[in-house]
Amino acid sequence: MQHVFDAELIRSTFRLATPLILAALGGVLSERSGVVNIALEGMMLAGAFFGMLGSYWTGNPWVGVTLGMAVGGLLGLIHAALTQRMKLNHIVSGVALNIFALGLTTYLLRRIFQHAGGSPPVNGLPQWGLGPADRLPIIGGLLGGQNPLFYISIVLVIGTSFLLFRTPAGLRIRAAGEHPEAAAAVGIRVRAVRYLAVVGSGVLGGLAGVYLSLGQLNMFAEGMSGGRGFIALAAVIFGKWTPFGAAGAALFFGFFDALQMRLQGQTIAGLTIPSEFMLMLPYALTIIALAGFVGRAVAPAALGREDS
């Protein structure tokens, strides 16, 4: 057990938390505007597939990043249209998009590559360093040599918080989610604000998926989002619908995901921990966290209202 808690565990936490942070930021944007977005899972899955496909077609992973974000944004646009124009229940729309993304990616994977399971290896994103800061004993060891999307996620957490709480655009987003009737009365176009917020949510969800296929495995595997979209949504709630809170919750879940990987096969007090138990640890903690903290978190007042 003495080798479990070390610097590499923290680095693994950052790697595993990055897609959760990106998707959770998307969830904060969408839900602050009043739109429930459980379609994050499907947006991540579609982003992962089309990110891989863009890299496969061109050999350039950044083309894959762009394509994955665009497809995620397209799913966000569909979710916004279904919930805001057609007044479909937000949960029903999200579930439908998740099923659609799973079916579409599975079909295209088998159609394009003529086999099931996964794609061929593709060019993934490079590792970035911190320049001279890489030589610092703590910062360089923990933060240096990470995937570029990790550094981008840090910037996005700060930027999203600034947007929501320090700009007129953020005030409009929050007004659309809290008091849409009052917002409309002062001239805010609530539907347009929600469209933009949900599309932005889809872009971030797609970027989270790209991280899975081009930042971790350099390939796509069927169903590779693996429930991370739902964990990201839990991080939104656990973090009380704030960017820094959601990022902190994502790091919490990422830490226990990294920990379960370390503890598989370890012996504690003479007992070997079953690998199945460790695999369920992040999901069990999600349930425990929600059961313990959801009652204390206050959602935007108009969240999920089809008549708003």
User: Which residue in the block uniquely carries the two structure tokens 């159609």?
Assistant: 111
- Please give the pLDDT value at position 39: 96
pLDDT tens digit at each of 308 positions of the chain: 446 667 788 888 999 999 999 999 999 999 999 999 999 999 999 999 999 999 999 999 999 999 999 999 999 999 999 999 999 999 999 999 999 999 999 999 999 998 888 999 999 998 876 666 566 666 666 777 788 999 999 999 999 999 999 999 999 999 999 999 999 999 999 999 999 999 999 999 999 999 999 998 899 999 999 899 999 999 999 899 999 999 999 998 898 888 887 776 666 656 666 767 777 777 787 777 767 665 566 888 888 876 55
Provide the pLDDT for residue 306: 65
Is 260 in a helix, a strand, or coil? helix
Where do the structural domains in the chain lie, given as residue ranges? 7-122+143-296
Distance of CA 75 to CAs 100, 116, 185, 263, Å? 10, 24, 30, 37
Check residue 46 and give its pLDDT: 97
| Alpha carbons 44 and 260: distance in angstroms, whole number | 23
Task: Specify the amino acid at residue 52.
Answer: M
Q: So what's the architecture of 7-122+143-296 in CATH?
A: Orthogonal Bundle (1.10)
Find, among 288, 183, 303, 184, the residue nearest to 241 by Cα: 303
What angle is formed at CA 230 by the lines to CA 68 and CA 5, rounded to 5 degrees? 95
State how far the Cα of 285 lies from the Cα of 282, in Å rounded to an integer.
5
Looking at residue 257, its pLDDT comes to: 86
- 193, 289, 203: which is closest to 246 by C-alpha? 289
